[in-house]
Amino acid sequence: MALDIKAIRSDFPILSRILPNGKQLVYFDNAATSQKPQCVIDAMTKYYEQYNSNAHRANHTLADEATTALENAREKISQFFGTTPENLIYTSGATEAINLVSYGWARYNLKEGDVIVLTEMEHHADIVPWQELSKEKGIEVRYVPINNESFTLDMDAFEIAIEDASLVCVTHTSNVLGIRNPIEQIIQMSKEVGAHVLLDCAQGAPHEKINFNNLGADFIAISAHKMAGPTGIGCLLATSERISEMGPFMTGGSMIKTVTTDGSTYQNGHSMFETGTPRIAEAIGWGAAVEWLSQFEMKDIHNHVHQIASWTGREMNKIPGIKIYGDPDNKNSSGAISFLHETIQSQDLAFLLDEGGFAVRTGHHCAQPLMDALGVPSTNRASFWIYNTQEEAESFISHLKFVCERFV
Amino acid sequence: MEDASWPSHLDSIVEEFRDCFDSMERYELLFEYAKKHPSPLPLDEWNEENQVLGCQSRAHVKCSLDENGLFLLRAGADAQIVQGLMAITAIAVNGQSSTEVSKLSPKYVEEMGLKSSLTPSRANGFLNMFKRVVSEAEILSEV
């Protein structure tokens, strides 16, 4: 079903912002973070205005209300991702979720000589924790290469790499290329060789319905802020079996059962990993975001984004000097278009696009191994979401053409 | 001199930028200055020692004293906006005493209508290079 983009845009106050240079904001930096609808802002404001209190362990009205809201949000979010509240551990985002798997599961369950398989297209958040673990425990880390023409994973190399692997960590969708990996096949192949699977769904979750129980991955890492939720919160979805194998990651308040001067005992389940005061306002905001998103079919969002991205990609290919890294025409692509101009340096191009009101990202996108594989130090990246319009894409192409003609 | 924070011979350049019709014309002018840098640092002299850290783009700065004991800034950046700003900075500081250079502020960039070039998240390239020039001038003034 076609989305009512005008109505959707009216939910996002920031989209009507006029920038200091007098230009209307055109926000194409959605792969970095999405904008927030008014209902998310209101839900968080209401918490601070009316029932701000620390959750759990108190006998007063405000604490009850805050605890209820925090746990209701867990219910809504877990349901949105096709699982139960017991399988959702709140984290600060996908980065902390992956670190939680590294320090809270792999550190307790993997040993020297075990193998972890990553890919060249991982975000640093899904590389550095494993490099650290490798140094600490003598674990081997392997990287599956990408095919530089199709920008897809080399699945033949993948098959060889996972042969004796204990854990396979793969991004659902590349934050640079917009390429959606064949995650169903990856999970199936990994399971066949007895490897556990961690999916980094930071980029996938805003574009596709993620059903944790159906997918069959052991772990899924998600960030709220890329899918209309606030910054500072995300989650790790983990199967009950994997949670039962996990040990403490961060220790302190909230995660304990008892503490004596001789030692401590810990809570079971997700409570063991949610140390300190919970991210109450953020969880409430995220709950409001998934409620807002639930009014749409995720496939409609994907189709809308794909339509804009594929048109934009085709038009960009017509501009002399522009090279796209990825395949925005691919039906599964997330709508992130990485590109470079052959003579206008990426930072300069970003400045010149910003002068037209266009917010795009520039740099290595926390994916330096992928930049190395592509043979470039950085790219510009335009990324689209539910509220972007064809008119915005057309004005972007027009400004990009103007810049490329004038500054070449 | 219009402002004590920059040398008077920069006044005409500041004026040239102020007179630009819009920001795109301003950037176009800046790209032209990048091409006519008075003392560029050639690529083969770019190394770790003279690299400015924390830049999104590659940027290198080499400061020394010329045969008259006056300041000489040589700089190179792959981003033309940073290179253009460094070219103007070189025009400002070359031939000055190190003590004078150490007192320089980047206010002329703001006056040129390129204030956004000074925001820390974006053009840390130029700002970091500028800070490096000033700190090297401080060291050279003590020689």
Q: In the predicted model, what is the mean pLDDT of residues A104-127?
A: 97
**Gap between the Cα atoms of B141 and B143, Å rounded:** 6
**Residue A13 pLDDT > 90, yes or no?**
yes
Distance from CA of B78 to the nearest CA of A (A): 7
Q: Is B13 on the interface with A (CB under 8 A)?
A: no
Confidence check: pLDDT of A408 > 70: yes
The answer to whether A345 contacts B78, with C-beta atoms less than 8 Å apart, is yes
Query: Whole-number mean pLDDT of chain A?
Result: 96
Contact between chains at A348 and B81 (C-beta distance less than 8 A): yes
Residue B28 to residue A407, Cβ atoms within 8 A: yes
Backbone phi and psi for residue A380, each to the nearest 5 degrees, phi listed first:
-90, 150
Number of CB pairs < 8 Å for A and B? Answer: 38
What domains are there in chain B, each with its CATH number? 8-141 (3.90.1010.10)
B57·A347 Cβ contact <8 A: yes
C-alpha radius of gyration, chain B, whole number: 14
- Report CB contact under 8 Å: A351, B82: no
Q: How far apart are CA B129 and CA A286, in angstroms?
A: 41
Per-window interface: B 88-117 vs A, CB < 8 A: 116-117
Is A366 one of the annotated active-site residues of the chain?
yes
Q: How far is the C-alpha of B11 from the C-alpha of B28, rounded, in Å? A: 19
pLDDT of residue B52: 86
* Inter-chain CB proximity A347 and B79 less than 8 Å: yes
Host H or E run for residue A286: helix A280-293
User: Which tokens hold the place of B84?
Assistant: 């253009």
Q: Is B57 on the interface with A (CB under 8 A)?
A: yes
Instruction: Say how far apart CA A322 and CA B140 lie, in whole Å.
Output: 44
Q: What string of DSSP letters covers A311-324?
A: HHHHHHHTSTTEEE
Catalytic one of A169, A201, A235, A366 = A366
In degrees to the nearest 10, what's the CA dihedral of A367, A369, A375, A376? Answer: 30
* Length of chain B (residues): 143
pLDDT in tens, A283-328: 999 999 999 999 999 999 999 999 999 999 999 999 999 999 999 9
Q: Across chain B, what does the average pLDDT equal?
A: 87
Position B56 scores a pLDDT of 66
Say how far apart CA A53 and CA A21 lie, in whole Å: 41
Are A89 and A75 in contact by the 8 Å Cβ rule? The answer is no
> What does the CA dihedral A58, A59, A61, A67 come to, rounded to 10 degrees?
40
Mean pLDDT of B46-74: 88
A362 and B56 in contact (C-beta within 8 Å)?
Answer: yes
pLDDT of A259 > 80? The answer is: yes
Query: Can you tell me whether residue B134 is helix, strand or coil?
Result: helix
Q: What tokens does A169 get?
A: 């960590």
Q: Of the given ranges (A140-154, A375-389, B116-130), which has the lowest mean pLDDT? A: B116-130
Question: Which residues does A contribute to its contact with B (CB < 8 Å)?
Answer: 21, 344-348, 350-352, 354-355, 362-363, 377-378, 406-407
Residue B2 has a pLDDT of 44
Which of B23, B28, B117 faces A406 most closely, judged by CB atoms? B28
Residue B82 forms contact with A (CB below 8 Å): yes
Work out the number of other CB atoms within 10 angstroms of the CB of residue A216.
Answer: 15
Radius of gyration of chain A (CA): 22
Interval B98-124: pLDDT, tens: 999 999 998 899 899 887 666 666 545
Whole-angstrom distance, CA of residue A300 vs CA of residue A5: 11
Helix, coil or strand: residue A90: strand
Interchain pair A347, B27: CB under 8 A: no
Residue of B nearest to A362 (CA): B56
CA-nearest of A66, A38, A36 to A51 is A66
Q: Does B56 touch chain A (CB under 8 A)?
A: yes
Q: Residue B59: its chain A contacts at CB < 8 A?
A: none
Kindly list the residues from chain A whose CB atom is less than 8 angstroms away from the CB atom of residue B79: 345, 347-348
- pLDDT at residue number B114: 84
Supply the ipTM of this predicted assembly: 0.87
Query: Minimal Cα–Cα distance from A394 to chain B, Å?
Result: 20
C-alpha distances in Å from residue A218, one per residue of A165, A317, B78, B128: 14, 39, 44, 45
Contact A347 B28 (CB under 8 A): no
Decide: helix, strand or coil at residue B40: strand
Residues of A in contact with B23 (CB under 8 A): 21, 355
Compute the nearest-CA separation of B87 from chain A (Å).
Answer: 16
Residue among A21, A348, A354 minimizing CB distance to B79: A348
**Distance set, CA A111 to CA A100, A133, A167 (Å):** 17, 10, 12
Q: Does B9 touch chain A (CB under 8 A)?
A: no
**Residues on chain A touching B80 (C-beta within 8 angstroms):** 344-345, 348
- Test B27 with A351 for CB contact under 8 angstroms: yes
What are the φ and ψ backbone dihedral angles of A43, each rounded to 5 degrees?
-65, -40
- Model confidence, pTM: 0.93
Integer CA distances (angstroms), A57 to A53, A61, A66, A67, in order: 11, 12, 11, 9
Q: Which residues, including other chains, have CB under 8 Å from residue B92's CB and lie 6 or more apart?
A: B6, B7, B9, B10, B104, B108
CA pair distance A194, A184, nearest whole angstrom: 15
pLDDT band at B54 (very low <50, low <70, confident <90, very high): low
β-bridge partners, A180: A173
**pLDDT tens figures, B8-40:** 999 999 999 999 998 899 999 999 999 988 999
Kindly determine whether residue A363 and residue B79, on different chains, have CB atoms separated by under 8 Å. no
Which amino acid, residue A253?
G
